Amino acid sequence: ALIAQLILCLAAGCASHTVKKVDATTAIQAQHDIPEHQLLDVGIVVFDPGIPADEKEREKEGVYPQVREAESRYIPFTLKETLQNTAQWGAVRVIPTETSSVDVLVKGEIIASDGETLAIAVEIEDASGREWLEKRYTHSAGKYSYSEDVPVEDMDPFQDLYDTIANDMLAARRQLSSDDIQDLRTISELKFAGELSPYAFEEYLGENDQGDFEIKRLPARNDPMLKRVRAIRQREYLFIDTLDAHYAGFYRGMQGPYQDWRELSYDETVALKEIKGSALKRMLIGAASVIGGIGLAAGGESGASGTVGNIMVLGGAAVLASGVDKYSQSQIHADALEELGASFEAEAKPRVVELENKTVTLTGSVEAQFKKWRRLLKKIYATETGFAIGHDARGGPRQTQDL
């Protein structure tokens, strides 16, 4: 009787269904112009693509390295656009690696991305080292997200996720007073100055009991070395803006093929789940029928019971075979996903820009280019101040740090 109930339940579709809730989160917009001295600059570091080192693990999770590498640049820029459009922040830039030039630093890692679901882990801290939040964000897109009625340039399928992050960041910033915000702006400036000339600026910052930076005292407003630091910092901003413009071009060029990939990936992912679910259902029905039929055929007291049992065995075997065949079809969809990932690699190649009379390709090596630029800034500072690299403002030795 229990086996019969199982068969009837499975045949009737007694399976759990996931009901997706359509979220309506929107990023909170500034209702008035915020004074410049109350705006915090934000740097969003290119995300960790979250690619498993083991190839089998990548296949299991459906991770395509060429897609993830592109997403590690695309997702931060989408977040940058979201934050910038709220008018709640100062300059918002995508940066290749961490820098002390910003007031608020955003770091992230891609956990899952397949067109249907996007999950990212985000860490945000300010210039003082104080953590604003550390959270995992997940959002599922619906089929309508890929409708032709929704232009890709107008709405990202996962815009709700970006809006939620923007609102969480705003909530954290609202915990700060006007003095706190001004202090953060000053701390980021002094940290940058300290990296250029540690001994000249080390006396201005200290650490509190929590290990966060705090202002011990301020340099004079007309301090000539601070003026030079500010000029050097503006050069860094120009460099970062150049990189940011390149990310923007990469983002715009990627939108079309990436949207196509996500839409096809969405269809394949959903189909894959449905086929696997259908295959499992068929195999369970077939297995239950075979087991029940064997039981009836072996233990039945009448010929009718034996006949019914044999029919159940034969029918169950057929259903089981159908389930196995259905399951094998899932591999076809998995292969299609892999082909989509490979074709995407050709569509979303980085571009080349001319920078500082050098050709810079925006790939994984851009971080090294950024480090070289920061070392160049240090040389520029040393040249302008007349101090040799490796010596502080007083002429004493100091440790050299890569910027």
CB proximity list for 397: less than 8 A, separation 6 or greater? 390, 391
Q: What is the pLDDT along the chain (403 residues), one digit of tens a residue?
A: 444 444 444 444 444 333 344 446 899 999 999 999 999 999 999 999 999 988 888 877 778 787 788 888 889 999 999 999 999 999 999 998 888 889 999 999 999 988 788 999 999 999 999 999 999 999 988 766 666 665 555 578 899 999 999 999 999 999 999 999 999 999 999 999 888 888 788 889 998 888 889 999 998 888 888 888 888 888 888 888 877 887 887 788 777 777 777 777 776 666 655 554 454 444 445 445 545 544 445 545 544 444 544 544 455 455 445 544 544 444 454 455 455 445 544 554 554 655 556 565 555 456 666 777 777 777 777 777 665 544 444 444 444 444 4
Torsion on CA atoms 352, 355, 360, 362, rounded to nearest 10 = -70
d(CA 189, CA 103): 9
Q: Which two tokens stand for residue 392?
A: 């502080």
Angle between helices 178-196 and 366-385 (to 10 degrees): 80
Which candidate, 187, 191, 192, 164, places its Cα nearest to that of 176? 187
User: 206: which strand partners?
Assistant: 214
Instruction: Describe the chain by its helix, strand, coil percentages, rounded to 5.
Output: 55, 15, 30
Q: Give the DSSP H/E element, type plus range, for residue 300.
A: none
Across 169-306, the runs of DSSP E, i.e. the strands, are 205-207, 213-215
Q: What is the pTM of this model?
A: 0.70
CA-based radius of gyration for the chain: 29
Residue 20 DSSP label: P
Handedness of CA 329, 331, 332, 337 (dihedral sign): positive
